[in-house]
Amino acid sequence: MLKFYNENECKWERKKISYQRKLRKLPQKDRNKFVLDDSFWSFSKIVQEEESISGRSFCIANEIFTTEKTFVKSLRVIKEVYADPMENILSYDDSFMTRNSWKTIFQNFPAILALHEKILTDMEAVLQKGKIKGEEDLEKFLYSKYTAEIVEVYTLYMNSYDRKTEELANLQSNEKFSSFLSSQISNSKGDGRPLDALLIRPIQRLPSVLLLLKDFHRELEKAESKYSSIVEMSFDQMKLILERLNKEKGIDEGRQRMLNLATTVENFPQGLVSSDRILLETGAVQVEQDITIERSRLSKGKSRINFHLMSDMIILTKTKTKSVGLKRSKRDVENFVGLIRKDKISQIFQVNSTNNIGIYFSTHELSHQLLYFSVLSNRETLVEKLKSFEKYRVNDDFTPKSPVRARSKSFDRAALVRRSFDFQKKINLEL
């Protein structure tokens, strides 16, 4: 009867065979000194699995470290380029700001900097060894050790964030303060980053960590690692922290839905997570004309995608059934397909005869693209929200046609160009 081994078992079987070959070369009298029974090999495999995290999982742990390092660098820029110089200016007779203004803008910022410097130091101590060994090392990358401190310092910072931005906007009406900010932007330590863009970084950091923990758990689960359950607990804990912080700050349902989308969609770009971005409506749509968006091919009549309408963009995702683990169990996974930014949309139209919707937009690669689709769910609410984009119009009886194939089964390019031109003319779109 054949026995099948997984990757780790194969590695240890090869080591065992190699050791036995070397053993046979020894004189008979010396062999008993070096004989190792099967219990040794079984125990060695268990120890090896418990010792370190490797492969793709280690890469994600390293990404948690590098993003934490970048975040701490941004916090240090706030301190060295803005907070400390502005505090020194308070002692001047002709100071352009008061002590209360300084406290409002930088309230609870020193505590956040101190917390993340401590987190970064713990991560660096582990990575200096070159491996992440055991639960004690792993926990330093999961933020679970610092849960109480995170809730304490971030609650105060997030609750006062609106006051920070208001105070900063009021001060910018002062000519001296505006000149000071302009001079500090050119500071070599600041990399040209303005203060308002840096102050939002702490609010963006925790959602980014949540996404990384999600990826970390997924990779460990694929490898069927015993650590996957520990990372999953940390992910759930971080999610609860964010929900609590958002609730205390009074963030509305739209922002909460945006956060949930970011944590459930595979390969979701972390840069899209923002406190200003709101999810307005979600619906299932079917593509009615072939299109390629960010290297994802969507086919007419075949591609069903999820249409997520944001306050400033449209995010497209696709649900696929995926096999997971050695048992190849099936589960539905939502994957990121692409996005259409609001400022890149030139026209949104509805065709009355079919109730289909078309969106003309541009990308970095193509100046004019058409996403033409029928709405399968939440049609009324989705259409109503689309009208808020201010470029929405209704056409009478016209539907774009797919390119026909000639007898040689190659695309009829001339027909495609004619139909594209006629369609653009029909909807009075200025190209």
Cα–Cα nearest to 263, from 286, 279, 251, 250: 279
Query: Which CATH number do you get for residue 240?
Result: 1.20.900.10
In a domain, 296, yes or no: yes
Give every CB contact of residue 234 below 8 A, 6+ residues apart in sequence: 139, 142, 143, 144, 213
The pLDDT of residue 307 is 92
Structurally, the chain folds into a number of domains equal to 2
The answer to whether residues 220 and 135 belong to one domain is yes
Distance CA(84)–CA(80), nearest Å, equals 6
296, exposed or middle or buried, with CB in 10 Å at 0-12, 13-18, 19+? middle
| Higher-confidence position of 340 and 418 | 340
The answer to whether residues 239 and 288 belong to one domain is no
Lowest mean pLDDT among 126-130, 228-232, 323-327: 323-327
The answer to whether residues 289 and 203 belong to one domain is no
DSSP string of 129-196? TTS--HHHHHHTTTSGGGHHHHHHHHHHHHHTHHHHHHHHHHHTTSHHHHHHHHHHHT-TTTTT--HH
- List the beta bridge partners of residue 333: 320
Lowest mean pLDDT among 26-30, 138-142, 268-272: 26-30
Of 184, 216, 251, the residue at which a domain comes to its end is 251
Dump pLDDT digits (tens) for 319-375.
887 765 555 566 778 888 889 888 888 888 887 766 788 888 887 777 778 888 888
Dump pLDDT digits (tens) for 176-224.
888 888 888 887 776 777 888 888 888 888 888 988 898 888 888 888 8
In a domain, 393, yes or no: yes
- Residue type for 64, please? I
Neighbours of 398 (CB within 10 A): 15
Q: How far is CA 170 from the centre of its chain?
A: 33
The answer to whether residues 213 and 351 belong to one domain is no
Secondary structure element (H or E) that encloses residue 50, with its range: helix 38-51
The pLDDT of residue 126 is 87
The two structure tokens encoding residue 366: 């193509």
The pLDDT of residue 344 is 87
Of 221, 251, 281, the residue at which a domain comes to its end is 251
The pLDDT of residue 69 is 92
Residue 286 phi, psi dihedral angles, 5° rounding? -120, 130
pLDDT for 36 beyond 60? no
In a domain, 362, yes or no: yes
The answer to whether residues 69 and 163 belong to one domain is yes
The answer to whether residues 283 and 220 belong to one domain is no
Dump pLDDT digits (tens) for 278-305.
788 888 999 888 888 877 888 877 778 9
In a domain, 4, yes or no: no
423, exposed or middle or buried, with CB in 10 Å at 0-12, 13-18, 19+? buried
In a domain, 13, yes or no: no
Cα–Cα nearest to 315, from 384, 244, 390, 264: 264
The pLDDT of residue 185 is 83
The CA-atom distances, in angstroms, between 312 and each of 199, 297, 414 are 21, 24, 36
The pLDDT of residue 26 is 60
The answer to whether residues 165 and 99 belong to one domain is yes
Per-residue pLDDT, averaged over 405-424, amounts to: 46
If phi > 0 it is left, if psi is from -120 to 50 it is alpha, else beta; for residue 390 that is left
Q: Are 395 and 426 in contact (CB under 8 A)?
A: yes
Q: Which domain holds residue 91?
A: 55-251
The answer to whether residues 207 and 304 belong to one domain is no
The answer to whether residues 91 and 129 belong to one domain is yes
Q: Are strands 296-298 and 329-341 parallel, antiparallel or unpaired?
A: unpaired
In a domain, 152, yes or no: yes
The answer to whether residues 275 and 387 belong to one domain is yes
DSSP string of 239-268? HHHHHHHHHHHT--HHHHHHHHHHHHSBT-
Query: Which CATH number do you get for residue 419?
Result: 2.30.29.30
Handedness of CA 363, 367, 373, 379 (dihedral sign): positive
Residue 284 phi, psi dihedral angles, 5° rounding? -90, 135
The pLDDT of residue 408 is 38
In a domain, 39, yes or no: no
In a domain, 65, yes or no: yes
Of 206, 222, 251, the residue at which a domain comes to its end is 251
Only one residue has tokens 């696929």, namely 320
The answer to whether residues 235 and 332 belong to one domain is no
The answer to whether residues 183 and 317 belong to one domain is no
Spatial strand order in the sheet of 345-351: 329-341, 313-324, 304-310, 279-287, 369-375, 356-361, 345-351, 392-395
pLDDT for 8 beyond 70? no
The pLDDT of residue 47 is 41
